[in-house]
Amino acid sequence: MIINLLAGGPKELVPSLSDTKWTCDKWVGIDRGVFHLLNEGIRPVKAFGDFDSVSEEELYYIQQQLSELEVYPAEKDKTDLELALEWAIDQKPTNIRIFGGTGGRMDHGYATIQLLYRALLKGISSEIVDQTNIISMHEAGRYTIQRNEDYQYVSFLPFSDTVENITLMDFKYPLTNQTIKWGSTLCVSNELLHETGTFSFTKGILMMIRSND
């Protein structure tokens, strides 16, 4: 099962939600993201937020359309997105995609990246998606990725202090058993040479960012 979350980030950074590559089993709306989903003709199964980013008229419209609406106070200990992610994790999906989680405030953006780690700890694959980036987080292992013309560049950044024995095969800039440390830019802006490539490492947490100009 795949669950897509749409947060309230800038709409211009959200890719077309009707694209078949974003097909999912359940959509969840978060704050203004609920309004955007309804405008796209998508009815979310759940909605979360304090809804401080919508007008009274827009909130009334949302309330008329949805029964599974969870409204929270603006002053709370968790972001709206974290509340939605916790619910999504409890559904035990195979994958969670987060849209509308980038752009605007850097504190929100970085917090969203950290939420990928929360999902990873539960054994759930997750990614942040916008018009020019797909961000994912990985435990030690071996992974195969496919070429994607919409996100042609591939960067790897350590999320833990160190990532040990990273090996990149079928990349423009290959590596063999290289250890990279927090703050390293060694693995920024690589590209696949063929339709598929592999990356592997033996210890640490690695963040992969697929991007385009």
Distances in whole angstroms, Cα of residue 151 to Cα of each of 65, 95, 185 = 35, 19, 19
Mean pLDDT of 13-18: 92
Superfamily for 2-131? Thiamin pyrophosphokinase, catalytic domain (3.40.50.10240)
Task: Give the pLDDT of residue 74.
Answer: 67
**Choice among 14-18, 40-44, 103-107 with the minimum mean pLDDT:** 103-107
Report how far residue 48's alpha carbon sits from residue 71's, in angstroms, rounded to the nearest whole number: 6
Summarised one tens digit per residue, pLDDT across range 33-90 is 999 999 999 999 999 888 888 788 888 888 888 877 777 666 778 888 999 999 999 9
165 vs 110, more confident: 165
pLDDT of 115 strictly over 80:
yes
Mean pLDDT of 168-173: 97
Among candidate residues 29, 44, 205, 199, the one with its CA nearest the CA of residue 119 = 205
pLDDT of 150 strictly over 80:
yes
Report how far residue 89's alpha carbon sits from residue 123's, in angstroms, rounded to the nearest whole number: 10
Report how far residue 38's alpha carbon sits from residue 44's, in angstroms, rounded to the nearest whole number: 8
pLDDT of 159 strictly over 80:
yes
Instruction: Record the pTM.
Output: 0.92
Give the residue range(s) of CATH 3.40.50.10240 domains in the chain.
2-131, 136-211
Q: Which fold has domain 136-211?
A: Rossmann fold (3.40.50)
Q: Determine the 3-state secondary structure of 142 from DSSP.
A: strand
**Choice among 1-5, 20-24, 75-79 with the minimum mean pLDDT:** 75-79
Task: Give the pLDDT of residue 40.
Answer: 92
Report how far residue 15's alpha carbon sits from residue 141's, in angstroms, rounded to the nearest whole number: 30
pLDDT of 26 strictly over 90:
yes
CB atoms within 10 A of CB 2: 14
